Amino acid sequence: MSEYIIFDALNTKLCTKPFMAAKILLKKLFIANQTINTQNHDIGFENYIFNPEAFTQRFAFILAQAGKNGEIIIALENSSYYSLQYAKNYISNNSYIKNKIEKKLNSLELTTDFLAKVVHIDGVLLTKNVIDGIEKNAKQMFEGFKAAVYTGPYLDFNSNANNDLNRLFDAIKLSRVYFDRELCPHGYDIHSYAPKIAEKMAGAILSDAFDSGADFIITNDIRTFYMFDTCRKKIEKEIGRQIPLYILTMPQVVLLALGEKDKKLLGFNAHKVKPTILK
């Protein structure tokens, strides 16, 4: 039995390949894990507001299955992390829903009494022993590169996250660029009904990061990647300028540091804005 279960059933409406690089990275880091079979993909955390009960039931099985075996679920990006956390909290704090879900789980010899702990992939990578291992085994340093980190206004990390992130950057000799719009909304939530406004919001963030000296932006959110990468041409048209700034996930950055050059494994083939860090 491995300690971790990977939730890789990401929102299939968006670009998933850059986030699957995390699975390759965990293997390289010798972090034992397995993927649990589920047909219930994340549909986007923001959709919980339409039907909280149905939203919660999508994730009940994996939370109960992993909890039964004493395993920890690793979410590969923000939306999945929040979806699983929301479902866990909703079940735990709503006795009616808990009893309703319990009846379905009991037929599978599962219970809601021991719901699994959920962690974000960044949280796994930012532990001291993992950072030390990355520093020890790094094959490609990032001297001369500057990265901006976009978390947006939602991601809930512990108070030491920034220090841990800077420790990781130091380990791979990557310079960090701070910019004013690091926590500003990227516009995804309104993009379906107000695309021009959303694209201007995303464009303001990209422009700020680029003008602050960043070579690329790091994010571990599938919605952010959609706005910053998939919608780049629309954004540039809307704000009237080109922004030569590519988007990477933290696992992609670490894989590069460990010497990975296979663009398919890195997920680079799925980027609209092709990373130029590999020639």
pLDDT tens-digit readout, 15-72 = 999 999 999 999 999 887 888 777 789 999 999 999 999 999 999 999 999 999 899 9
Q: Quick one: pLDDT at residue 162? A: 67
Cα distance between residue 188 and residue 201, in whole Å: 9
In a domain, 104, yes or no: yes
Q: What is the mean pLDDT of residues 119-134?
A: 93
Instruction: Read off the DSSP letter of residue 3.
Output: S
pLDDT tens-digit readout, 208-219 = 999 999 999 999
Assess whether pLDDT exceeds 80 at residue 112: yes
Q: Quick one: pLDDT at residue 3? A: 86
Give the closest residue to 227 by CA, choosing from 264, 267, 272.
272
Assess whether pLDDT exceeds 50 at residue 1: no
In a domain, 271, yes or no: no
Q: Quick one: pLDDT at residue 39? A: 78
> 0.85 cut: is pTM over it?
yes
In a domain, 266, yes or no: no
Q: What is the mean pLDDT of residues 125-144?
A: 93
CA 116, 122, 234, 268 dihedral sign is negative
pLDDT mean across residues, the chain? 92
- Token pair of 249, please? 């996930």
The β-bridge relationship of strands 216-218 and 4-7 is unpaired
Q: What residues contact residue 75 under an 8 Å CB cut-off, 6+ apart?
A: 7, 81, 84, 118, 119, 120, 121
* 198 within 8 A of 187, measured Cβ to Cβ: yes
Q: Quick one: pLDDT at residue 38? A: 77
| Confidence band for 232, pLDDT divided at 50, 70 and 90 | very high
**Which residues are registered as beta bridge partners of 129?**
none
Residues 161 and 95 in one domain: no
CATH, residue 242: 3.40.50.11810
Q: Quick one: pLDDT at residue 158? A: 45
> How many Cα atoms within 13 Å fall on the side-chain side of residue 29?
26
pLDDT tens-digit readout, 56-106 = 999 999 999 999 989 999 999 999 999 999 999 999 999 999 999 999 899
**Which residues are registered as beta bridge partners of 7?**
75
CA 199, 203, 204, 206 dihedral sign is positive
Residues 67 and 148 in one domain: no
- Token pair of 48, please? 């919980």
| Confidence band for 145, pLDDT divided at 50, 70 and 90 | very high
The number of distinct structural domains making up the chain is 2
Cα distance between residue 149 and residue 162, in whole Å: 10
Q: Quick one: pLDDT at residue 159? A: 46
Assess whether pLDDT exceeds 70 at residue 157: no
Question: One-letter amino acid identity for 82?
Answer: Y
Residues 96 and 187 in one domain: no
In a domain, 264, yes or no: no
CATH, residue 59: 1.20.1050.140
Strand order in the sheet with 146-149: 175-177, 146-149, 216-218, 246-248
Residues 104 and 188 in one domain: no
Residue 249: domain span: 140-258
Residues 112 and 145 in one domain: no
Q: Quick one: pLDDT at residue 44? A: 92
Residue appearing with tokens 């602050």: 212
* 171 within 8 A of 135, measured Cβ to Cβ: yes
